[in-house]
Structure formats: C-alpha cells, structure tokens
Structure 1
Amino acid sequence: MAATGFGALDGIRVIDFTQMLAGPFCTQLLADQGAEVIKIEPVEGEDSRGAGPFRPEDELRAFGGYFASVNRNKRSIGLNLKDPAARDIALKLADSADVVVENYRAGVMDRLGLSYETLRERNPRLVYAAIRGFGDPRTGNSPYSEWPAFDVVAQAMGGLMQINGPDRFTPLKVGPGVGDLFPATLCAFGISSALLRVARTGKGQFVDVSMVDAVLALCERTVHQNSFQGEIPHPEGNRHPLLSPFGLFRAKDGFVTLAAHFDAWWVKLAGLIDRPDLATDTRTATAAARVANNAFVYEQLELYTMQRTKKELAAVLGGKIPFGPVNNVAEILEDPHFAMREMILKVDHPGVDRQVAIAGIPLKMTETPGRIASRAPMLGEHTDEILREIGVGIEQAESLRAERIIG
C-alpha cells in the first residue's frame, strides 16, 4: 500500500480515473499531501505511459518521463471499464472513497455507469471532480461541451496566446502545459475546499473545472484592460504593457529579468548602474513617463546589461531590486536555491539502475510537509492488493485477469 501519514490529506482516499496531464497532475498534488490515490487505468495502460522520453538503457519501457513526472505516490490497477465485472469493482472502490477525479469528455463516465449521480447515491459524502475542456453541463452549459481539448486549445481559446508573443501580430504558445497544469491546480484547490465542507456538513458535491475557464482566469488582466481602457490587449513581447521597466533584458551571456517600476526602485536601480541621470530625466523620472517611453527605458538599461554576464549582473542587482537570471535546466540544477528547497528530487525508475530526477513539491507546510514516498506505478502494479482490500480473492482475480477484465 502507498505510504500515507505524511501530509494534511492523510486518510483521504482518491479514486483516479484521469489520464494524460491535467487530471494526473491534480491527483498527484493530492497524493503529495498524503492522500491515498488509486489510479484506475485501461488494462493496456493509459496513453501517456508510452509518451517518453525514455532513458537510453531502459529496455523495459514501463513508462517514460512524462508519466513519471505526474504519477508519483499513486497505486495502479488496470480495469476494462466496459465490462460489467470491472465496473462493479470501480463502484466498490468509489463506495470506499472520499474523492473521485476524472478528465474524460462530458458523458463518458455516465455511459460507463459511473456518473456523479450514480456514485453520489451510493456514497453521499463523495466529492466528484471533473476537469474538461469546456466544463460540465451540471454547472453550466457550453456550446463546446462536446469538443475535445488539450493544453494548446485551452491556451488559445482562453486568451493566453493572444497576449503572449514576440510582437503584437504574433500569438505564441506558452512552453509548459499551463492549459492543463493551472486547471489541475484549481481542481485540487476545489477538492480540498469540498472536503472541508464534507467535514462540516457530511455532504459531498460535484467540482467542475473548465480548462478554458481556468486559462481565462489566469489572464484576468485582459478583462479589466478591456473594461477599463476599451482595449483589446495584444502580445507585448518580453515587456509589460502597464509597468516599466518590467521584463527581459539582454546580458553578455544570455538574458536577465528585472522590475523597477516603482519610483523608489527606479531611483535605486539608477544608482546601482551609475546612471543617476535616469532618476531625474523627464522621460524616465515617473512611472507614467517610463511607460510612455518604454522603448527608451529598455534601450538605456541594456547599455548596461549587455556589457555584463548574468553572474556579474546578479552581483550588482541581486537582492537590491527584483532581479533574476533566465535559467535553463542545467543552471537550475546547479543553483543552490533549488537544492536547498528540495525542488529537484531523485526517484527509482523500473528498468533503470540509477535514479532519475523529477520536479519536487512546491507547496511547503511546516506541520504536514508532504513528500515523495514512491515512484510512479507500473501498470496494474497494485491490482491484486487493491482487489484484496475490497474482498476479491486470488482465484477470482486470476479469472478476471485471464479474461482481460483486470490488468
């Protein structure tokens, strides 16, 4: 059984029907805080197991880096949910659960006989959470409710791409899958909130997160800009439309970021780079003037930053104004901050003799810190022990496995 007792969600059982990125990241957030997460997969395994990347020496290829990064601290059982016997097992697991999470398209779980209404009737305390591209009709209809969606669709339709890009005419996808990861984080927050209500009232509820809605919330600035200024925001490159300086600057060996949009910081920055004239120049002396003369501000600052390396700039500016170098992953691995904060952790990996690195737990808590207790599971690695917990014996399990009902 997966280790518990190390987080604020110790004692919470989560039945995880999720796949790919958004759902698994949500349930991993819960697992990192001590919840017992049982991952239900098709008997052939969920699609992301084969997504890679794989270590060159890994001949087993049970799963790659994609799956490893968002499925730690979970147990796996393989079920062919189209079979009534497997569905009965899923129902029994849901009966014992505090939370069910799924990220299928609307209606899929209903057709499988595992709808919220079915599970709630059997288990009134259940918190049932769904992450879908355009939400669930239970909380609000959408003309796109039947559309499939991935991160790139959410980024596009939620408005993120339209404010991200090198210039006002070129929308650009954000590198990380924020169209999955941010909805997943909101869903974990929603689940935790619903569990608090269960503790107070004994009543569960349906938690619905639309990926597109979540991205719009992430881009909240665009809504108030349009309402207050009558503008349709567009990509601003690596600069901020309302604050200056606030963005990216070229260094001799890469790029750095800095923010000195408040007047006090601007005066300090002017002194640090030996340009006291910038503190009094009418084009730069006030916050409004700096926004109006944004190009001039960046031009003057880059006269300084381009002549120095990232380390040299850190020695002058670090800790004095908001400043940070643009790090690649190799630089992150060498940075003592991430080591001291335990943000790069090593875990075992099946088929590989040495441990592999994954991102650590960003949420730090003093009394219930959470931890990475186990690597991501192999397909059906815990099927037999999970079945034993709900009263399915060895002979019955062997029969089910022979018929490809379990895996």
Structure 2
Amino acid sequence: MFSSGALSDVRVIDLTQMLAGPFCTQVLADHGAQVVKVEPPEGEGMRRTGPFLPDDEFRSFGGYFQSVNRNKGSIALDLKHPEGRQVLKELVSSADVLVENFRGGVMERLGLSYEELSAINPALVYATVRGFGDRRSGESPYYEWPAYDVVAQAMGGIMGITGPDEHSPTKIGPGVGDTVPALMLAIGILSAVHHARRTGEGQLVDVSMVDCILALTERIVYQRSYQGVAPKPEGNKHPLLCPFGLFEAKDGWVSIACATDALWRKLAHAMERPDLAEAPECATNAARVQHADLVIGALEAFTGQRTKDELKAILGGKVPFGPVYTAEDVFGDAHFQVRNMLVEVDHPGSERRVTIAGVPIKLSRTPGGIARRAPMVGEDTDRVLRSIGMPVDRIRELRATGVVS
C-alpha cells in the first residue's frame, strides 16, 4: 500500500509510540510491509518532541518522529470509544501483525487483548515490547514498572561495563535500550509470520527491553559463569583482547582492533616498531592482555603524534581501524553517500528537505528503501478504511462522531 519490497504482502497494525515500537515497525516498513500507524485523534505524544525546523508552520512532528515513522500510513482512531475499538478489530481481521508497546494490562482493559484479537484472526501475530516483558512469557517481579531506554541499559548490564573506570558506569549515547529490542522484535515478528503462513497459526511475540540488553551484553554472563567475576567498566580497553579500543590522536580519537596475532604484527610494523611484533610480552594475545600497559603505551605514543587523517593513511586497510566520527564527519564521508545512508525527505510545513538515516539492510533482489516521509496525524485514515472495504457513508459517520479524524 505504501511501499514495495520483500514484505509488500505483510499488513501491520502499529499501535506503538516513543522509540522501541516505532523503530521496529519502521524496519518492517522499510522492506515494504504495509504499516498502518494507529494514533489517538491528537496524535502520538512523540510528535510534540523536537527538534523542529524553524520555518515549520504545521509543527505536525519534529526530527524525532520523522526518524522512526517513515514509510507508514497514519489513521487517527479513538480507542476509548466503543466504535473506535470496533474499527480496530475490523483492521485486525485482515492484518498479519499487530504491534503494541503499552504498559501491561492496557490492551486487556480496552478489550483488545491477544486472546480477544486472535479469536477474530487466528493467524494474527501479536507482538509486544515492554520494559520487563509480558506476563504470559513469565511474570517479572517488575512487570508493573514503566521503563525507558536508560532503565533497560541499567538493568540489562550494559552500563555496568561501560565507562571510564570501575566507579563510573555510563549510559550508551543512542537509545540502544529501545533500538536493540526493536530489532529483536522485528526478528520475532518475521519468524512468527513465517510460521503463520505455513500453518495458519498466529502467536504472541514478547520482547523485554531488559532481556534484549542482557543478550546484547552477552559476555558478562559467560565471564560470571566461566571466571566467577562480575565485570566492571574498563574505559576504552577490552578485557579479553589487546589492543582493542580507542586511542587518542592529535586531533581526536581513533579505534584500532587487533583480535589476532597476525594483525598485531602488521600493526607493529606499521608503527615502525618491529621489535614489538615478536617480543615475548607481545607475541600472543594472552601476553598482550597481561602486558596491556606496555602495548597500549606504545600504541598511544604512536597515535598521539599523528592526526586522524595521517593515521588513516598509515593504517587504513592494513588493520581494523576507524576514526571516531562526529555527525559532521559522517555527512562528509563518501561511504555513507554511496551506501545511501543519508536520505533526504520532505517535511510538511517547511520548504526545506531534511536528512534522515537510510536503510542499512541491503537486499539485492527486493531492496528496501524510503518511499515517503513520516505521515501527518490521520493522513491516511480514509485510504486505510477503504482498503478494508468500509463504505464511504460509514467513514463519514465515524468522522462526524470523532471516532476517526
């Protein structure tokens, strides 16, 4: 309905808000899924979060909303009204997937629970993402707690190993507590749709934000099990590999990662330190981890005397290397241009076009893409309702009563 791609025959009802849910459904929409974003008449709350363009006369949404709601249609529907809930059930009857990220119990109170909707459409894949999961998969003692990205990062363990030192746990910059669960949920949805297409059986797909961050942080589990330790923040180093991290240059920082002894030897020669290539303290990864101060000191002495561009010329293509980029650097690097990772779209209410991140998953035969900007509130209401066979007269009645807008 709204784009083409590998998922063009998958219909998704999107009841999500904020970041985790919309990011998940956008991944599906980027690959052609027909995603209908169901919003209250006043629109999802994140529409009112900036940044906004200075000349945006409509203020229908800002950059935050634009970045996670492209390729979707919007229907404005009042689920507090009985007729609004009936309309949702009619949408569900022909859908493959429904995604929601309300707090536990909200959909039950509306009479729109997994059990009630799957009775209407037995093949429905009902997907949820919440801070601590859905009680049907195992009721967490924190089931009733609200959660955001920072909570998932904290309790999932990733903050506990991130920071400049063991006393300074640090939040990861972007909202990985939302986006990683979103990706996990998308994988679960596609798995369940595949099963439903084969068997006619839908199911519940349940993702906990905290669980997903623990899975992302995986090494703390095996370190605790194998070594009996509880890892702490270790700055820009790696506890098991050396050298592997960030190193200061004259004009910023660079990343260098030598996970094998062969790569270390290449690095040592590039540093014009062949003596370190085979030295007993450096010849193996185990030795380098044990003598990390020696290795890192020698590498920092080398990087600290050179600019990022100079280091790129010396190390680029020889060992795993990359300068630490700002957004300005990203916009200036040809990689992101040729990979179509910086995409311009329209913004309603402004004469300017804006840039958002592109689609990172590249398919050779059915490529995804960005076919349209994020929608205005209810921009596609009539089109969506007509697509399920709703008569024009009934649509007019729903508008007149405020059920849709």
Structure 1 length-normalised TM: 0.97
**Residue 88, structure 1, aligned to residue 86, structure 2:** yes
Taking the aligned partners of 2:389 and 2:269, their CA distance within structure 1 comes to 73
What is the match of residue 311 of structure 2?
313
**Residue 385, structure 1, aligned to residue 379, structure 2:** no
Q: CA deviation at 1:57?
A: 1.3
Aligned positions of 1:278-297 closer than 5 A:
278-297=276-295
Q: CA deviation at 1:281?
A: 2.9
**Residue 188, structure 1, aligned to residue 186, structure 2:** yes
What is the match of residue 362 of structure 2?
364
What is the match of residue 2 of structure 2?
2
Residues 24 and 182 of structure 2 are in contact (CA less than 8 Å); yes or no, is this contact kept in structure 1? yes
What is the match of residue 51 of structure 1?
49
What code does the residue aligned with 1:262 have?
T
Taking the aligned partners of 2:126 and 2:115, their CA distance within structure 1 comes to 10
Taking the aligned partners of 2:400 and 2:159, their CA distance within structure 1 comes to 48
| CA-to-aligned-CA distance 1:309-357 (integer Å, 9 cap, x gap) | 1111011100110000101111111111111110110011101112100
Taking the aligned partners of 1:167 and 1:403, their CA distance within structure 2 comes to 59
Aligned positions of 1:292-303 closer than 5 A:
292-303=290-301
What is the match of residue 208 of structure 1?
206
What is the match of residue 352 of structure 1?
350
What code does the residue aligned with 1:180 have?
D
Residues 125 and 202 of structure 2 are in contact (CA less than 8 Å); yes or no, is this contact kept in structure 1? yes
**Residue 31, structure 1, aligned to residue 29, structure 2:** yes
What is the match of residue 261 of structure 1?
259
Q: CA deviation at 1:202?
A: 1.3
Deviates more, 1:284-293 or 1:143-152: 284-293
What is the match of residue 242 of structure 1?
240
SS at match of 1:248: strand
What code does the residue aligned with 2:90 have?
K
Q: CA deviation at 1:107?
A: 1.1
Taking the aligned partners of 1:394 and 1:124, their CA distance within structure 2 comes to 28
Taking the aligned partners of 1:366 and 1:131, their CA distance within structure 2 comes to 30
Unaligned segments of structure 1, at least 5 residues = none
**Residue 221, structure 1, aligned to residue 219, structure 2:** yes
Taking the aligned partners of 2:176 and 2:164, their CA distance within structure 1 comes to 19
Q: RMSD between aligned alpha carbons?
A: 1.1
Taking the aligned partners of 2:259 and 2:184, their CA distance within structure 1 comes to 30
Q: Percent identity?
A: 60
| CA-to-aligned-CA distance 1:89-131 (integer Å, 9 cap, x gap) | 0000000100000001111111111111111111011111000
Q: CA deviation at 1:394?
A: 4.0
What is the match of residue 69 of structure 2?
71
Residues 2 and 32 of structure 2 are in contact (CA less than 8 Å); yes or no, is this contact kept in structure 1? no
What is the match of residue 139 of structure 2?
141
What code does the residue aligned with 2:35 have?
V
Q: How many residues align?
A: 405
| CA-to-aligned-CA distance 1:51-81 (integer Å, 9 cap, x gap) | 1111111121110000000000000011110
| CA-to-aligned-CA distance 1:340-378 (integer Å, 9 cap, x gap) | 110110011101112100000000111111111111000
Q: CA deviation at 1:308?
A: 0.8
What is the match of residue 152 of structure 1?
150
Q: CA deviation at 1:399?
A: 3.6
Residues 347 and 354 of structure 2 are in contact (CA less than 8 Å); yes or no, is this contact kept in structure 1? yes
Q: CA deviation at 1:384?
A: 1.6
Taking the aligned partners of 1:61 and 1:257, their CA distance within structure 2 comes to 40
Q: CA deviation at 1:279?
A: 1.5
What is the match of residue 161 of structure 1?
159
Q: Of the candidates 34, 38, 41, which is equivalent to residue 40 of structure 1?
A: 38
Taking the aligned partners of 2:120 and 2:260, their CA distance within structure 1 comes to 57
What code does the residue aligned with 1:257 have?
S
Structure 1 moving runs of 4+ over 4 Å:
none
What is the match of residue 333 of structure 1?
331
What is the match of residue 122 of structure 2?
124
SS at match of 1:316: helix
What is the match of residue 98 of structure 1?
96
What code does the residue aligned with 2:78 have?
N
Structure 2 length-normalised TM: 0.98
Taking the aligned partners of 2:206 and 2:258, their CA distance within structure 1 comes to 39
What code does the residue aligned with 1:100 have?
L
Q: CA deviation at 1:288?
A: 1.3
**Residue 197, structure 1, aligned to residue 218, structure 2:** no
Q: CA deviation at 1:248?
A: 0.2
SS at match of 2:137: coil
SS at match of 1:159: coil
Q: CA deviation at 1:395?
A: 4.3
**Residue 11, structure 1, aligned to residue 9, structure 2:** yes
SS at match of 1:208: strand
Taking the aligned partners of 1:147 and 1:286, their CA distance within structure 2 comes to 47
Residues 152 and 177 of structure 2 are in contact (CA less than 8 Å); yes or no, is this contact kept in structure 1? yes
What code does the residue aligned with 1:30 have?
L
Taking the aligned partners of 2:402 and 2:158, their CA distance within structure 1 comes to 43
Taking the aligned partners of 2:196 and 2:259, their CA distance within structure 1 comes to 45
| CA-to-aligned-CA distance 1:5-34 (integer Å, 9 cap, x gap) | x31111110000000100000000000111
